[in-house]
A and B are shown apart, each in its own frame.
Chain A
Amino acid sequence: GAVVSQHPSWVICKSGTSVKIECRSLDFQATTMFWYRQFPKQSLMLMATSNEGSKATYEQGVEKDKFLINHASLTLSTLTVTSAHPEDSSFYICSAKDPLAKNIQYFGAGTRLSVL
């Protein structure tokens, strides 16, 4: 299957700082990427859909100014958690849709964010 790389895998930051997470499709071009949040022992919660060259589409209840998404190229999307607070601590996973495989999303390894 297609390969999606996510970096960093783990980050600790102080409250009030911003953290950037990168998601790259390594062997295909992804016009659409997705950002999910996952709480312990729960399923994936879609936060936003990232479209190359246009603004991201956020799910209801997700703060656009809090979670900034940029999809500047066909292989890279970034999620920036701005002014992070302890309640933002979570596991964030990105995925990318392979245009040659309808509706199959390939996932990155995830980023564990801990805000002190």
Chain B
Amino acid sequence: EDKVVQSPLSLVVHEGDTVTLNCSYEVTNFRSLLWYKQEKKAPTFLFMLTSSGIEKKSGRLSSILDKKELFSILNITATQTGDSAVYLCAVGRSYNTDKLIFGTGTRLQVFP
């Protein structure tokens, strides 16, 4: 059965800390891995990763994929209170390219 597992489930840090969120997967016919940030309502798209070893970066956020070891990490440096959210990892397959398999998410709380 395909599955996506995120760790830790929750994380509490102080502003300025650096955090690493993990996503491991067991999915047949892997095509892509996506990261989303969900605050109170809609998940917003962060990154899509398809190739191993190529870092994607946007401001203080970066992510990388390891297709050999079947995982991805999402790094947030110099965290701010606005980074507080649930971070969702999702995997798409090469067949049935429409569906995404979501992990349970990591809840990040950043305190001043």
Residues of chain A at the chain B interface (Cβ within 8 Å): 1, 4, 6, 9, 32, 34, 41-44, 46, 49, 93, 97, 101-110
B97 at the interface (CB under 8 A from A): yes
Q: Tell me the minimal C-beta distance from A101 to chain B in angstroms.
A: 8
Asked if residues B45 and A104 are in contact (CB atoms below 8 Å), the reply is: yes
Asked if residues B42 and A32 are in contact (CB atoms below 8 Å), the reply is: no
Give 7 pairs: A residue, B residue, CB < 8 Å, sorted on A: A42-B104, A43-B102, A106-B45, A107-B36, A107-B44, A108-B42, A109-B41
Asked if residues A104 and B48 are in contact (CB atoms below 8 Å), the reply is: yes
Size range of the chain B interface in the assembly: 20 to 34
Asked if residues A43 and B104 are in contact (CB atoms below 8 Å), the reply is: yes
Specify which chain B residues have a CB less than 8 angstroms from the CB of A107 in the assembled complex: 36, 42-44
Bound-complex Cα distance A22 to B48 (A): 27
B100 at the interface (CB under 8 A from A): yes
Residues of chain B at the chain A interface (Cβ within 8 Å): 31-32, 34, 36, 41-45, 48, 88, 92, 97-100, 102-105, 107
Asked if residues A109 and B42 are in contact (CB atoms below 8 Å), the reply is: yes
Closest B-chain residue to A110, C-beta based? B41
Q: Tell me the minimal C-beta distance from A85 to chain B in angstroms.
A: 24
Bound-complex Cα distance A4 to B45 (A): 12
Asked if residues A103 and B41 are in contact (CB atoms below 8 Å), the reply is: no
Specify which chain B residues have a CB less than 8 angstroms from the CB of A97 in the assembled complex: 98
Asked if residues A105 and B100 are in contact (CB atoms below 8 Å), the reply is: yes
Please tell me which one of the listed residues B31, B34, B45, B105 contacts residue A43 in the complex, with CB atoms under 8 A apart. B105
Bound-complex Cα distance A1 to B34 (A): 14
Specify which chain A residues have a CB less than 8 angstroms from the CB of B103 in the assembled complex: 43
Asked if residues A103 and B31 are in contact (CB atoms below 8 Å), the reply is: yes
Closest B-chain residue to A36, C-beta based? B102
Bound-complex Cα distance A42 to B70 (A): 23
Closest B-chain residue to A59, C-beta based? B99
Closest B-chain residue to A112, C-beta based? B41
Bound-complex Cα distance A105 to B90 (A): 10
With contacts A49-B98, A108-B42 taken as known, whether A103 is within 8 angstroms of B32 at the C-beta atoms is yes
Please tell me which one of the listed residues B31, B41, B98 contacts residue A32 in the complex, with CB atoms under 8 A apart. B98
